Amino acid sequence: MMIFWWFLALLLGSVEIYRAHECDVFTYLDLYHAIIGTSLYVKLLLYTRANLTCGQELSHHNLSAQPQFNLTKPTTFVVHGYRPTGAPPNWLNNIIEQLLARGDMNVLVVDWNRGAANINYLKVVTYSRDTADNLTAFIRNMQENGASLSSIHMIGLSLGAHITGFVGAKFNGKIGRITAVDPAGPQFNGKPPEDRLDPTDAQFVDVVHTDMDAFGFRKPLGHIDFYANGGADQPGCPLTILSGSGYFKCDHQRSVLLYLGSLNRTCNIRAFPCTSYTDFLDGLCMDCDQFKPAGCPVFGYDIIEWKDSLVPLQQTKAFFTTNKQTPYCKTSYWVDIVTWNHDTRWGYITIKLHNGSEVTEATINHKASSFKKYSETRLLAQFEKDLQKVHKISIKFSRVNAFKPKYKLRVLRIRLTHLERKDRPLCRYDILLEDNREVTFRSIPCEESNF
């Protein structure tokens, strides 16, 4: 008899253990559901440091039912966008882990896949309003249970970005922070602020644009709007439908990869406030004196550190370029060139930096640069890698029109200044650049005298 009770206890015990490891997961749907359509269901999945990989569905109405949901800790909502195939987003686990690595918080995944998975995009747009209303009720409940709106951060992707905006408006902008990751454009472009995300929706609204010519939103929507590579086409993404299956979503998805890279601090991407991408490429916006001592804003999760200087400016557009794969950050140099050809020369410049066996290259060809006798031409060169201890430089000049006669560029001085280490520029004096021929030389410290 004793043995029987023992056995039963053991059995019950193991059932208990088994249940303790049951996790709630993101709703899995497929194309079939997307075609027949689904009705909205908003599932809230809680992840904490104690339960990094095991989600727990929260009750919308009884918050004390889940003791892990500690309202004295900050809460970050992650809101996905349109899911035309119904499959769960593949970046979910990554963003949950990275957020919890950054801080002790509640991460709430807002799973509105039943609603977002529908081939009828217009229907999904109406569900986005309903989802926002549902979240608003939930956050009111959080408030009643002691949570402060300031400690809430909502990260919305694509259509999810506008959901966070609708919720934020209901709280008159008192929510701490909204981050919009390539906010959706279709059905939102050109709409008034109440029908989309805008800077009054939270105390601080930061936005990144990567696909504004297709799925993304064009105009600035936040206190700071980052336009990665100008905000439309991303390096490494197929430019035409013929050149790859990623054509439809690559640019749009790049925003998520860039954001994840900022969370895990793979490399810091400095962005440059500027009125246009062209001005930025022309090197006209490289000074961030107004943000002293922090310097130019760093894209992504850490931009909150610039909040106090950005909010009074109301809306800031900031630009940066990236590599085509991770690590995405580039390294910027100013290249100042003084020439002494009698006639003004026009052309493109390619520069290579060498340190021992490593080399990194920058091509300045977004437009032809002009070189006028004795006047300084300043160019912005952005390199894939940040080489330490550069000891050799290669430079190539090519004329604009290959049919015109070849000519030489007579360089009096070239000076390269690393934007993060301005105190140690590299120089070289008196070099002759023949058309389309690379010249390699050792760099020397710059002389004090300036042109």
Ligand X SMILES: *[C@@H]1O[C@H](CO)[C@@H](O)[C@H](O)[C@H]1NC(C)=O
Q: Is 287 annotated as a binding residue?
A: no
Q: Is 336 annotated as a binding residue?
A: no
What three-state secondary structure class fits 75?
Answer: strand
Q: Of 111, 182, 211, 282, which is the active-site residue?
A: 182
Q: Of 128, 158, 255, 262, which is the active-site residue?
A: 158
Q: Is the peptide bond before 293 cis (omega within 30 degrees of 0)?
A: yes
Q: Is 424 annotated as a binding residue?
A: no
Integer Cα distance of 117 and 34 in angstroms: 5
Name the nearest CA neighbour of 197 among 315, 340, 320: 315
Name the nearest CA neighbour of 321 among 223, 233, 242: 233
Q: Which stretch, 199-207, 345-353, 387-395, 411-419, contacts ligand X (CB under 6 A)?
A: 387-395
Integer Cα distance of 299 and 208 in angstroms: 8
List 1, 17, 20, 242, residue binding ligand X (CB under 6 A): 20
The token pair that represents 16 in the structure block: 């208990």
Name the nearest CA neighbour of 348 among 371, 369, 376: 369
Binding mask 402-421 vs ligand X (x if CB under 6 A, - otherwise)? --------------------
Query: Could you confirm whether 158 is annotated as catalytic?
Result: yes
Q: Closer to ligand X by CB, 266 or 323: give it.
A: 266
Query: Could you confirm whether 182 is annotated as catalytic?
Result: yes
Span between the terminal Cα atoms of the chain, in Å: 100
Integer Cα distance of 405 and 191 in angstroms: 53
Binding mask 223-262 vs ligand X (x if CB under 6 A, - otherwise)? ----------------------------------x--xx-
Q: How far is the CB of 171 from ligand X (least distance, A)?
A: 15
Q: Closer to ligand X by CB, 280 or 301: give it.
A: 301
> Exposed (0-12), middle (13-18) or buried (19+): which is 3, by Cβ within 10 Å?
exposed
Q: How far is the CB of 116 from ligand X (least distance, A)?
A: 13
* CA 388 from centroid of its chain's CA atoms: 26
Q: How far is the CB of 355 from ligand X (least distance, A)?
A: 4
Angle between helix 121-144 and helix 159-170 axes, rounded to 10 deg: 40
361 binds ligand X (CB under 6 A): no
Integer Cα distance of 269 and 34 in angstroms: 37
Integer Cα distance of 318 and 324 in angstroms: 19
User: Contact 371/377 with Cβ under 8 angstroms?
Assistant: yes
> Exposed (0-12), middle (13-18) or buried (19+): which is 444, by Cβ within 10 Å?
exposed
Q: Of 80, 162, 223, 252, which is the active-site residue?
A: 252
Alpha-carbon Rg for the chain in angstroms? 27
Q: Closer to ligand X by CB, 19 or 342: give it.
A: 19
Q: How many residues bind ligand X (CB under 6 A)?
A: 33
54 binds ligand X (CB under 6 A): yes
Query: Could you confirm whether 195 is annotated as catalytic?
Result: no
Q: Which stretch, 183-191, 219-227, 386-394, 410-418, contacts ligand X (CB under 6 A)?
A: 386-394
Residues of this chain, 149-178, that bind ligand X according to CB under 6 A = none
Residues of this chain, 255-274, that bind ligand X according to CB under 6 A = 257, 260-261, 264, 266
List 355, 363, 377, 436, residue binding ligand X (CB under 6 A): 355
Contact residues for ligand X, defined by CB under 6 A: 20, 22-23, 41-42, 50-51, 54, 56, 60, 62, 64-65, 68, 70, 72-73, 94, 134, 137, 257, 260-261, 264, 266, 326, 355-356, 358, 386-389
Annotated binding site for Ca(2+): 196, 198, 201
Q: What positions carry a catalytic annotation?
A: 158, 182, 252
